[in-house]
A and B are shown apart, each in its own frame.
Chain A
């Protein structure tokens, strides 16, 4: 295991950043698995710097109004709506 293998606290912190609640047993299991997986990812250190020769081209379309979903269609999968708007939980 490498020196900077993840701790359970780090797993909880990342889960908080990603907005995914974890049960305690998930934290334990992910902590063990992440140690192996991240150690494996560290072999990327052996990769040389490579010049990228790709020709990049911007692809633009005319900035014009186009058909989009009707309001009812956009709302039809929402668990809660009110007056034609999505209704979510309080932000604070």
Chain B
């Protein structure tokens, strides 16, 4: 093992045939694997062994994949660097000495380092796209409802989706083909509707096929909207790399125009209020009685419960539970949570408007190149602001893909395409043109 990519190395063999036979997969350690410990990067679940498989894991096994490890992550998915893991940080194989991005940093690093062919992560506010961008690999955040969350240890239910990492767009799409689709264990999943706008250049045959079939590299006639707000304040080298990639797509027959999304100025604060509120509720289940770390403390239920959680949770998790509890408490609900829901509705409306005049939207995935390890731990607010380009997508329930766009000063830069709900095929097609 190198770079502290895995929390647990394992070999879970899949069936003999299937579309992923012979393919190795890393699975983020917040996705339940029967008989193999699933820690969420937390002391709280250091010894937890799930008695059942997440739906996506069952589907991987049925497709013949071999799971090679449970990958490192920010504790409970809360972070942008994979440095808040109880098991220590992961180094970035594509930029040693730098963070791999978070929270699915171990999964992205596994693919970048060749420790797995493909990987699964989860994305609540950018946790697949950020590490994909920082590690120079492809990552897809599916539309809300496309992939089952059954067996994913919940952090922010209304925002999060499981999605794939791979070295190529086609491989990521093939993994999406395996995990996508309705699941009776998750009532928020649904059959994806037909994407009328997927076939912008009249070539036929692709849009009814698999997601992998959509990776044709054909962007002739593609209309790209570039939200100006998502370039403001971004690192100069990142912006240059982004425009080079857009020029490349123009050479291949795409056209771009600028669009404005005024609501995204408030997306980060709305995202964190909603995510922390949901986190404070979801993480109430960790009482140390049914599973998880249990404090060796005297006292009544409340005292023991509070001591267990003091010992089991790290700083970032405590910070979010407390802020979420505060935001939902009497007297503050209208001030924070209700306004955040208004902002969420506004973001959705803005994206709908922009996507009525463009096939896809494009921006840098992250406004900055990968941080150096240890650079950013002390200022949580600065860290939250780094998520400005990814969180609006989760608020709007939309799909997005991060694809390598080049480098700045030797550090990977990702380009993000955003599409309408269940418009994964057009994202896959657009992204494959940059390879």
Contact = CB atoms under 8 A, between A and B. Distances in A.
B243 interface: no
B184 A91 contact: no
Nearest to B338: A44
Contact of B329 (A11, A17, A23, A36): A17
A69 B343 CA distance: 40
A18 B280 contact: yes
Interface string B267-303: 0011011000000100010011111101000011111
B322 A77 contact: no
Contact of A40 (B49, B290, B335, B381): B381
Contact of B290 (A15, A19, A49, A78): A78
B211 interface: no
A73 interface: yes
A22 B325 CA distance: 15
A69 B307 CA distance: 29
A21 B309 contact: yes
B289 A69 contact: no
Interface stretch (B1-9, B104-112, B165-173, B313-321): B313-321
A50 B382 CA distance: 28
B202 to A, nearest CB: 31
Interface string A3-25: 00010001100111111111100
B266 interface: yes
Per DSSP, chain B at the interface is: helix
Interface in A26-50: 26, 30, 33-34, 36-38, 40-50
A40 B269 contact: yes
Interface size of A as a range: 35 or more
Nearest to B266: A47
B326 to A, nearest CB: 5
Contact of A14 (B263, B287, B325): B325
A86 B323 contact: no
A88 interface: yes
B257 interface: no
B380 interface: yes
Nearest to B289: A88
A20 B266 contact: no
Contact of A33 (B263, B343, B380): B380
Contacts of A80: 289, 294
A80 B320 CA distance: 29
A50 B346 contact: yes
Given A17-B329, A79-B288, A92 B322 contact: no
B377 interface: no
Given A18-B280, A21-B310, A43 B294 contact: no
Nearest to B352: A53
Contact of A37 (B299, B318, B381): B381
Given A20-B306, A89-B303, 10 more contacts: A17-B329, A18-B309, A21-B307, A26-B315, A40-B269, A44-B270, A44-B343, A47-B342, A86-B290, A90-B301
Interface of B: 47-49, 51-52, 184, 187-188, 263, 266, 269-270, 272-273, 280, 284, 287-292, 294, 299-307, 309-310, 313, 315, 318-319, 321-323, 325-327, 329, 335-336, 339-340, 342-343, 345-346, 348-349, 380-381, 384
23 contacts: A11-B322, A14-B325, A15-B322, A18-B309, A19-B302, A19-B305, A20-B306, A21-B306, A30-B319, A33-B319, A37-B272, A37-B323, A40-B269, A40-B381, A41-B273, A44-B342, A52-B345, A54-B348, A59-B187, A69-B52, A79-B294, A80-B289, A91-B301
